[in-house]
């Protein structure tokens, strides 16, 4: 059984969290490079990579993936400043999305070679974690064919709405970026973008679906538990990290 180190970074700037992910990824990539360069007869085990799962909350920010389209950002720089929203072009997959208060953002840094080498399966596993957690709140969630993320009423014309967006990067089977689950999110910020480049579907949150604010710490605990269950891993809870410095 693999072990995954879990850290809750709290409220942290998007670029700081991104730099931290890249740093953790580099540690694993360096370990894999060293292992590949070791003569096969001297290899006692696999590469000394370390799995991580990071949770955080970001100040208001729009991010766009490497295949995204700038026309899906519906405001100019002056409006971004007025809204107090940052903007970043990222190296993840997917189009544009929003991160902000009341949203749980998860960044798994995993060496998939120690789980399975199938990126599609990895995305389905991330979705499965969300689906299981939402079920504990009585919410039936699922997948939308041809799209990533987790949806409600995906098969009902005119009612499909996304509650969790996803976008990842994978290098030599080591992952960064991840998912964003709307818990108590102010959904008005999605009005200034075309979320994930999808024009005919809306977004939602746990709060909106349940009609009440939701305990975010409780949601985090459920996410960590289900992550371990879905990936068949031991989750090791590390001391919460504040003011991440990279």
Are 76 and 83 in contact by the 8 Å Cβ rule? The answer is no
Residue 42, classified by CB atoms within 10 Å of its CB into exposed (0-12), middle (13-18) or buried (19+), is exposed
Question: In angstroms, rounded to a whole number, what is the distance separating the alpha carbons of residues 65 and 54?
Answer: 20
Tell me whether residue 96 is annotated as binding: yes
Tell me whether residue 122 is annotated as binding: no
Tell me whether residue 99 is annotated as binding: yes
Tell me whether residue 172 is annotated as binding: no
Are 14 and 244 in contact by the 8 Å Cβ rule? The answer is no
Residue 31: CB atoms within 10 A of its CB come to 17
Token pair in block for residue 158: 């005119």
Question: In angstroms, rounded to a whole number, what is the distance separating the alpha carbons of residues 246 and 228?
Answer: 27
Tell me whether residue 167 is annotated as binding: yes
Closest C-alpha among 95, 136, 115 to residue 46: 115
Tell me whether residue 65 is annotated as binding: no
Tell me whether residue 102 is annotated as binding: no
Tell me whether residue 98 is annotated as binding: yes
Tell me whether residue 94 is annotated as binding: yes
Catalytic position from the list 56, 164, 170, 196: 196
Tell me whether residue 231 is annotated as binding: no
End-to-end CA, the chain: 29
| 56 catalytic per annotation | no
Question: Which residue ranges are tagged as binding site?
Answer: 92-99, 165-167, 178-180
Cite the active site residues.
Answer: 196
Question: Which residue ranges are tagged as binding site for substrate?
Answer: 92-99, 165-167, 178-180
């Amino acid at each position: 059984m693999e072990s995954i180190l879990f850290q809750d970074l709290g409220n942290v700037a998007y670029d700081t969290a991104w730099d931290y992910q890249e740093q953790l990824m580099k540690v694993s990539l360096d370990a894999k490079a060293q292992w590949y360069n070791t003569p096969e007869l001297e290899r006692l085990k696999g590469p000394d990579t370390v799995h991580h799962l990071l949770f955080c909350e970001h100040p208001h920010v729009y991010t766009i993936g490497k295949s995204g389209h700038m026309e899906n950002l519906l405001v100019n720089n002056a409006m971004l400043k007025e809204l107090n929203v940052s903007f970043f072009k990222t190296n993840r997959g997917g189009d544009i999305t929003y991160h902000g208060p009341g949203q749980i953002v998860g960044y798994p840094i995993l060496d998939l070679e120690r789980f399975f080498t199938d990126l599609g399966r990895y995305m389905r596993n991330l979705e499965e974690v969300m689906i299981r957690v939402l079920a504990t709140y009585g919410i039936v969630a699922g997948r939308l064919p041809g799209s990533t993320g987790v949806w409600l009423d995906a098969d009902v014309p005119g009612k499909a709405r996304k509650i969790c967006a996803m976008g990842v990067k994978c290098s030599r089977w080591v992952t960064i970026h991840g998912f964003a689950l709307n818990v108590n999110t102010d959904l008005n910020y999605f009005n200034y973008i075309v979320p994930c480049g999808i024009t005919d579907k809306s977004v939602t949150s746990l709060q909106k679906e349940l009609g009440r604010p939701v305990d975010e710490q409780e949601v985090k605990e459920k996410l960590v538990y289900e992550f371990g269950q879905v990936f068949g891993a031991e989750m090791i809870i590390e001391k919460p990290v504040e003011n991440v410095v990279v």
